[in-house]
Amino acid sequence: MNIPLGQRVFDACHLTGSFQLRSGEVSRQYFDKYLFEGQPLLLREVGEAMVRLLPGHCQVLAGMEMGGIPIVTVMSQLAGLPAVFVRKEAKEYGTRKSVEGGAVDGLRVVAVEDVVTTAGALVKGCLELRRAGGLVDDAVCAVDREQGGRENLAAVGISLRSALTRADLVPVGSG
């Protein structure tokens, strides 16, 4: 039986118990995205699905710290494109860069993220890439939770493509 990618990601990441959310609320369910990123075969399949979403003009892939880093590394290997890594904050020592791994100045960069909810961190990362001279009009993600991220990215001129959406993560038989 061929199980859909969304179902396999859900099965790997869906936890039940008692979890405090960032909002302070407590939930009986939790989606731990790092659980699919730590499984090499599942991570590769997600990366393959995301590579298919890349626009033809892409010259560099930019992974967002932290969840975008494993995905962009796999995508770089699959697509044969260079990857850079975008820090949430520049280091206060060494090169003091927020974009690591190579130059993006004048290049078409596609931002890579694991899960997009409101896209706050992704918007910040894309603006940082633009400050570094990257031409950023596109982003791809593994999962779009469909909670305003696409619209927030569009407000700064960035289109979002997702391998999976929140609806794809509904377990079979639960509607």
Residues 44-77 as b or e (16 or more Cβ within 10 Å = b): ebbbebbbebbeeebebbbbbeebbbbbbbbbbe
Mean pLDDT, range 39-44, rounded to an integer = 96
pLDDT tier at 21, thresholds 50, 70, 90: confident
How many other CB atoms are there within 10 angstroms of residue 135's CB atom? 16
Nearest CA to 98 out of 47, 48, 141, 133 is that of: 133
CA distance 175 to 107: 43
Domain ranges of the chain: 46-169
pLDDT, tens digit, for every residue of 43-90? 999 999 999 999 999 999 999 999 999 999 999 999 999 999 999 888
Q: Which two tokens stand for residue 89?
A: 């904050």
Q: How many CA atoms lie within 13 A of 149 on its CB side?
A: 28
CA distance 68 to 86: 9
Q: Which residue has tokens 């990441």?
A: 13
- Global confidence as pTM: 0.93
Q: Has residue 172 got a pLDDT over 70? A: no
Q: Which two tokens stand for residue 157?
A: 């001129």
What pLDDT does residue 23 have?
A: 78
Q: Which two tokens stand for residue 81?
A: 């494109």
User: Domain 46-169 adopts which CATH fold?
Assistant: Rossmann fold (3.40.50)
What pLDDT does residue 109 have?
A: 98
